[in-house]
């Protein structure tokens, strides 16, 4: 069994968090609030460190142009008062402009041309055929403006049904992954309790 007080605190808090599974209780709520508070505190400290490291220290070392982003950052706080709200529009504009430009720069090769070329493949394996057919059928499912798609006897409508099934398979895979992910989180906590805290199991196999 661990003698580290930190492990004990983490172990007890884990049990308190899981006590919700039995029923909602005050101890669970206290743990939840503690978690939120710790998260907020950690982010605040990290944000402060980041400003000092990336903004304040370079200014002190003579890189005076770092004053500009620092000033823009301070102007963001203007939005807390109606009289000074206008000040926050300028840094916000800079943030949106830079963010949008950076995202757009890579969006076309990353999400359009890259994905399109990945669909232009030889139809020489079952996987490739399924991939191309599934992509086309799914895209067909999202045609809402063609008359043929509303006609239940049309070939296009039947093809769009294949798209619906492809989507269902994708949602099923996503759900399966969600279950697997949540199970992994639970395993990690039980591993922590049994190994790090109680010392019932050893490390590794």
Partner 1 sequence: MFDRLVNLDRRILYAIIFVLIAFPLISPIGLPISVSSMVVAAYEVVDSLEEGDVVAWSFDYTVGGGPDCHPHSEAVWQHFFDKGIRVVAVSFVPEGAQFSRELVMLWEEQGKVYGEDMIDVGFIAGFETGIGEFVGNPTGASPTCVRGTRVADHPIMEGIDDVDDFALVGAIATGAPGPFEWVRQLAGYRVPYLPGVVTVMGPQTIPYYESGQAVGLLMGLRDAASYEVLMERPGMATAAMDSQSFAHLFIILLVVLGNIIYFTQQRREADNQ
Nearer to partner 1, 25 or 115 (CB): 115
How many CA within 13 A on the CB side of residue 44? 6
Instruction: Count other Cβ atoms within 10 Å, centred on residue 6.
Output: 9
E strands present in 2-52: none
Secondary structure class of 5 (helix, strand, coil): helix
Give me the least distance between CB of 152 and partner 1, in Å please: 25
Give me the least distance between CB of 2 and partner 1, in Å please: 16
Interaction residues for partner 1, span 156-195 (CB under 8 A): 170, 173-174, 177-181, 183-191, 194-195
Nearer to partner 1, 1 or 155 (CB): 1
The site map against partner 1 for 95-134 (x = CB under 8 A) is x--xx--xx-xxx-xxx--xx-xx------------x---
Taking CB under 8 A as the rule, does residue 40 contact partner 1?
no
For 124-193, give the DSSP string. Answer: -SHHHHHHHHHHHHHHHHT--S-HHHH-TTSHHHHHHHHHHHHHHHHHHHHHHHHHHHHHHHHHHHHHII
Taking CB under 8 A as the rule, does residue 25 contact partner 1?
no
Give me the least distance between CB of 97 and partner 1, in Å please: 11
């Amino acid at each position: 069994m661990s003698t580290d007080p930190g492990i004990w605190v983490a172990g007890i808090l884990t049990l308190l968090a899981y006590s919700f599974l039995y029923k909602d209780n005050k101890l669970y709520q206290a743990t939840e609030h503690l978690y939120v508070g710790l998260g907020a505190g950690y982010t605040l400290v990290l944000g402060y460190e980041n400003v000092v490291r990336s903004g304040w220290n370079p200014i002190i070392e003579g890189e005076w142009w770092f004053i500009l982003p620092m000033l823009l950052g301070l102007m963001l706080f203007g939005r807390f008062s109606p009289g000074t709200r206008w000040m926050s529009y300028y840094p916000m504009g800079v943030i949106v402009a830079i963010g949008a430009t950076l995202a757009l720069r890579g969006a076309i090769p990353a999400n359009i041309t890259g994905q399109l070329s990945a669909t232009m493949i030889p139809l020489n394996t079952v996987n490739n055929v399924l991939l191309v057919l599934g992509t086309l059928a799914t895209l067909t499912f999202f045609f809402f403006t063609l008359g043929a798609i509303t006609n239940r006897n049309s070939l296009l409508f039947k093809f769009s049904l294949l798209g619906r099934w492809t989507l269902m398979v994708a949602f099923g895979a996503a759900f399966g992954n969600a279950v697997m992910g949540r199970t992994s989180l639970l395993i990690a906590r039980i591993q922590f309790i049994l190994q790090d805290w109680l010392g019932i199991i050893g490390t590794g196999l």
